[in-house]
Amino acid sequence: MASNGSTSKASPPPQGIYVPSPTFFVAEGSASYNQTSPPLDLETQSKHSLFLVEGGVKGLVLLGSTGEAIFIKPEERVQLLKSQRKTLDDAGFKDRPIIAGTATQNIDDTLQLIQESKDAGAEYAMVLSPGYFAPATSQTGIKNWFTAVADQSVIPVMIYHYPGVTNNLYIAPATFEKLAAHPNIVGTKLSHGIIDDQALIAASPNIDHEHFYVFTGLGQNLLPVLAIGGVAAIDGLAGVFPRVVVRLFDLFNESLAKGMGKNDIAEMRLLQFRICEGEKLVARWGVVGMKEACDRVWGLGSRTGGRLPLAGGFEEGDQEWSKWSKVFDGLKELEEKFKSEGSRH
């Protein structure tokens, strides 16, 4: 919903755990494989999407950094979004929104991607901050850039703040306070570990937190971010172990509602510890690590199924995975335990 001069505020996405889904490509050796630009593997994409929502994930973030958006052709964006919206709808998950990433520097290009994403079935746009000229970009420039996008966007906008891929562009909490007042800006994904800045946004009395949601992009920060006012996470590890991450989110909210006790805190701390162990792989290897884990743990996709320069998976193969296998075997057991206990969703 674009603002178009209206003072009505767009609604943020439902609170819960979201996954920045990897984009799956056909594996090396298949008939349609092309080393330079392997085609999309929409069958695996759909299997993974259903695996996530059946595990309690509230919605999907497609074509973000983990989705290798910078390698995806325009027509492929449309195919991917349409296919996953149809997959969710056909399986009875019409209530699970799709958030589409945009990673452009130009406002007009960003607006075009947003329009195409809406037409393909996305309900929200996660807009990456423009970091090419980061050292020379002022906070006023950032505010005006996002305001121009939000003024014209046909769907609600979330600010994607990821200094690691935007030339270390910094968005100050005071800038977030100003942008959070925009009727068509409904939240942010904070993919950094600056916990004091996260608190200055998520706990700010100058922000309407019914309209503007703070998601951490790091599952290893989920419990502390919930404690300071964040609503949840858009988290990579949840792409492999959705029930594990969702369980921590549920435990926090359930214990908060009934009155949090020492046993609740101890259980949440232990679960956060287990999540942090697994997140080390995501922090080190990003989408390469996620695809490796999806393949090795669940047989989903191909660990070598990427586009250059990310094609090929772990360079050291089994030797590298052996560093992570004990932690991931334990998380798999935990995921299966939670599944056997029955879904709350």
CATH number of the structural domain spanning residue 93: 3.20.20.70
The parent domain of residue 181 ranges over: 18-340
Q: Could you give the residue numbers annotated as active site? A: 160, 189
Is residue 6 one of the residues assigned to a domain? no
SS (H, E, C) the chain: CCCCCCCCCCCCCCCCCEEECCCCECCCCCCCCCCCCCCECHHHHHHHHHHHHHCCCCEEEECCCCCCHHHCCHHHHHHHHHHHHHHHHHCCCCCCCEEEEECCCCHHHHHHHHHHHHHCCCCEEEEECCCCCHHHCCHHHHHHHHHHHHHHCCCCEEEEECHHHCCCCCCCHHHHHHHHCCCCEEEEEECCCCHHHHHHHHCCCCCCCCCCEEEECCHHHHHHHHHCCCCEEECCHHHCCHHHHHHHHHHHHHHHHHCCCHHHHHHHHHHHHHHHHHHHHHHHHHHHHHHHHHHHHHCCCCCCCCCCCCCCCCCCCHHHHCCCHHHHHHHHHHHHHHHHCCCCC
Is residue 28 one of the residues assigned to a domain? yes
Residue 1 confidence (pLDDT) above 50: no
Q: How many domains does the structure of the chain reveal?
A: 1
Is residue 173 one of the residues assigned to a domain? yes
Residue 158 confidence (pLDDT) above 70: yes
Task: Give 305's pLDDT tier (boundaries 50, 70, 90).
Answer: confident
Q: The whole model's pTM is what?
A: 0.94
Is residue 5 one of the residues assigned to a domain? no
What was the pLDDT predicted at 345?
Answer: 42
Is residue 3 one of the residues assigned to a domain? no
What was the pLDDT predicted at 21?
Answer: 97
Residue 105 confidence (pLDDT) above 70: yes
What was the pLDDT predicted at 35?
Answer: 75
Is residue 205 one of the residues assigned to a domain? yes
Is residue 268 one of the residues assigned to a domain? yes
Residue 245 confidence (pLDDT) above 50: yes
Is residue 199 one of the residues assigned to a domain? yes
Residue 129 confidence (pLDDT) above 80: yes
The average confidence (pLDDT) of the chain is 94
